[in-house]
Structure 1
Amino acid sequence: MNEFIFPFAALVAQVPLQQALLLAAIDPALGGVLVSGPRGTAKSTTARALAELLPEGQFVTLPLGASEEQLIGSLDIEAALRDGGVRFSPGLLAKAHQGVLYVDEVNLLPNQLVDQLLDVAASGVNVIERDGISHRHEARFVLIGTMNPEEGELRPQLLDRFGLAVELQNCFDAGIRREIVRARLAFDLNPEVFRSQFAGQQEALSLKLRHARATLPSLELEDAVHARVSELCIEAHVDGLRADLVMLRAARALAALEEASAVSVAHVERVAESVLLHRRKEANAPSDQRASEPRSQQRPKDTDEASFGYMPPEPVDITAVKNVRPLAAKKS
């Protein structure tokens, strides 16, 4: 692993992001982490730092403009027909196995590629099919997608498929800014010395991740935990049940990280915001919201009942204009 990577344990004022990434590392089936925020908020630095804690430590970047074959890999059909065997050229998904797949500006990728990324991130298996020939391989990685909201949004259907989301903000606290800058200057001045100061914490984090992965399946989810998850998701008016499933998995991953003997409601409360941030909707009864708006800003609903009080369109009497000559026929 590159010795000049900024240590995960040395990150300043990134607790929500660090927690979300550690949970995704413990249970990659959560579906990855979407990190939203302006430039300069250490999104890529934190992603690289996480990769160093993982067993294999791969950090793979998906560039903008990547093709489908670059992402999922390719099959040599001619060789398969000639030799009877599948010749597979691995793509970025295969190279990211057991590591981190980092997608900067994920909101600018074609929707089809984002769909494929999220499918594999959740299932842990990549399947390539060409002309009746298929190949599959394991692809378990931590998917980290970043975006700047000023440059466009993801479709709601894709947002929902990211397991966790964290929104970063510019820091306007003078004390925290000084702490961040001092840490970065010390790292840039002498990376080896700086990293040695956090070597013990880094090793402890790596051990905690490995232990949490091993104990994760043994943690059961009690009825009280299920009940609180349901309450939170109903209050947030989320679509479907994906949020419930992700919240339960995230709470279990947090309990495993903290070496708890059971998943508690407190674990649910601490992961809820990262699960609901990108899924939360307004109340399903828009009349409450509409009642608080000025009448001039209220729009009719797309229903027959809502058309009451609005003048229906009337047909234009074409007989009155049928003898008018076209403008092109007039003399100047």
Structure 2
Amino acid sequence: MSEKTTDRPVFPFTAIIGQNEMKLALILNVIDPKIGGVMIMGDRGTGKSTTVRALVDLLPEIPVVANDPFNSHPSDPELMSQEVKEKIARNEPFEIINARINMVDLPLGATEDRVCGTIDIEKALSEGVKAFEPGLLAKANRGILYVDEVNLLDDHLVDVLLDSAASGWNTVEREGISISHPARFILVGSGNPEEGELRPQLLDRFGMHAEIKTVKDSELRVAIVLQRLEFDESPETFRKKYEKEQLELTKKIAVAREKVKSIQIMDDLFYTISLICSELDIDGLRGDLVTNRAAKALCAFEGRDTVESNDLYRVMPLCLRHRLRKDPLDTIDSGEKIQEILAKYLE
């Protein structure tokens, strides 16, 4: 497992050439984590993992309770552990620090105990305390949980991750002892479609779906290769070239995270979103909700106050294409069908 703090230099997010769809989906999820995460599918060697790890450098600072294994929020009860709640109830002081949003990698072979945490029954019985060893979901609270090759992960484990991501809580039960803790994180999965897609029922629970392909343009390929070679030769020198852009984008994301709460969607666009979801025969209401959130996040990111029709053109394919797939044997629509219906309603 690797977390945000690492000795290995990370490729700068602002230096990544192309793959705009993937970058936009990741940024929108950081602005509004309630979008529900993003599934990134594409060919091998297209920079999926590089881009996700590059995102870490852009994550703004958040207030956390010092030395708390759950990255508890100092004032929001929905984002704090039971221990912190008890300290507040007893009026006990605790240290508050600002820390960068955390990212946790989930190893492909991780067990459910490693992911969810374990209860030490012997200690619980002998000492009469709930002895809980936090897992990766605790470390990922209020951060990002990244699963590379998520389509190769056991369906049961994917279910556990998606349940926690949706509810914002993780519950571990053993021998009549039950422990719950906040686990509100952005779930980012990546994979190669040649190795199989997730079942439609699981895929639907990812907020967004980004599709990336190998760059075909020879000049662009040369630029990407030269850039990578330069980074490998001297990572720190390369990173300094993009320091200003990185800082500007970090500030832009931090501002958007606050601004998104006040963004408005006019009634006509609000109804248009649901009309389009209905015409596309999208099951459930997740598509409607995610599109609304993503459009607001994009609007906040670009510094505007009101969602425009152009925002829907940009986010709806990301929010809906994976929800069109009803049969596991179907392929995921590239977004053309969605764009056609958008043009019909937004002309």
TM range (shorter): 0.7 to 0.9
What's the counterpart of residue 38 of structure 2?
Answer: 33
Contact 2:262 2:305 in 1 (8 A): no
What's the counterpart of residue 18 of structure 2?
Answer: 13
What's the counterpart of residue 243 of structure 1?
Answer: 287
Moved more, 50-59 or 200-209: 50-59
Match of 1:50 among 42, 48, 55: 55
What's the counterpart of residue 66 of structure 1?
Answer: 110
Counterpart-to-counterpart distance in 2, 1:99 and 1:267 = 26
What's the counterpart of residue 261 of structure 1?
Answer: 305
What's the counterpart of residue 143 of structure 1?
Answer: 187
Contact 1:29 1:123 in 2 (8 A): no
CA shift, 1:157, in A, is 0.2
The ranges of structure 1 where at least 4 consecutive aligned residues each deviate by more than 3 angstroms after the TM superposition are none
What's the counterpart of residue 266 of structure 2?
Answer: 222
Aligned pairs for 1:118-267 within 5 A: 118-267=162-311
Counterpart-to-counterpart distance in 2, 1:123 and 1:26 = 19
Contact 1:6 1:195 in 2 (8 A): yes
CA shift, 1:36, in A, is 0.6
What's the counterpart of residue 88 of structure 1?
Answer: 132
The one-letter code of the counterpart of 1:13 is G
Match of 2:121 among 58, 77, 82: 77
What's the counterpart of residue 320 of structure 1?
Answer: none
What's the counterpart of residue 107 of structure 1?
Answer: 151
The one-letter code of the counterpart of 1:47 is V
Counterpart-to-counterpart distance in 2, 1:279 and 1:39 = 24
Return the TM-score normalized by structure 1: 0.80
What's the counterpart of residue 326 of structure 1?
Answer: none
Contact 1:159 1:278 in 2 (8 A): yes
Task: Specify the SS of the correspondent of 1:182.
Answer: helix
CA shift, 1:281, in A, is 4.8
Task: Specify the SS of the correspondent of 2:138.
Answer: helix
Contact 1:238 1:281 in 2 (8 A): no
Contact 2:200 2:325 in 1 (8 A): no
Task: Specify the SS of the correspondent of 1:278.
Answer: helix
Kindly report the root-mean-square deviation, in angstroms, between the aligned alpha carbons of the 2 structures. 1.7
Moved more, 214-223 or 198-207: 214-223
Task: Specify the SS of the correspondent of 2:204.
Answer: helix
Counterpart-to-counterpart distance in 1, 2:174 and 2:248 = 45
Contact 1:29 1:124 in 2 (8 A): no
Task: Specify the SS of the correspondent of 2:322.
Answer: coil
Moved more, 232-241 or 157-166: 232-241
CA shift, 1:249, in A, is 0.9
Match of 2:316 among 249, 262, 272: 272
Task: Specify the SS of the correspondent of 1:161.
Answer: coil
Counterpart-to-counterpart distance in 1, 2:113 and 2:298 = 35
What's the counterpart of residue 68 of structure 2?
Answer: none
Alpha-carbon deviations, 1:140-166, whole Å to 9, x = none? Answer: 332110111111121110010011001
Counterpart-to-counterpart distance in 2, 1:126 and 1:208 = 31
Counterpart-to-counterpart distance in 1, 2:181 and 2:58 = 23
Moved more, 50-59 or 233-242: 50-59
Task: Specify the SS of the correspondent of 1:134.
Answer: strand
CA shift, 1:38, in A, is 1.3
The one-letter code of the counterpart of 2:30 is A
How many residues end up aligned between the 2 structures?
A: 282
Once the two structures are aligned, what percentage of the paired residues are identical? Answer: 50
Alpha-carbon deviations, 1:214-270, whole Å to 9, x = none? Answer: 222222332122112113212322111111111111111111211211223322221
Match of 1:117 among 161, 174, 184: 161
Task: Specify the SS of the correspondent of 1:60.
Answer: strand
Task: Specify the SS of the correspondent of 2:39.
Answer: strand
The one-letter code of the counterpart of 1:247 is T
Return the TM-score normalized by structure 2: 0.77
Task: Specify the SS of the correspondent of 1:277.
Answer: helix
Distance 1:213 1:124, change over 3 A: farther
The one-letter code of the counterpart of 1:267 is D
Distance 1:238 1:263, change over 3 A: same
Gaps (5+ residues) in structure 2? 62-99, 327-347
Distance 1:51 1:122, change over 3 A: farther
Distance 1:52 1:125, change over 3 A: farther
Counterpart-to-counterpart distance in 2, 1:249 and 1:57 = 21
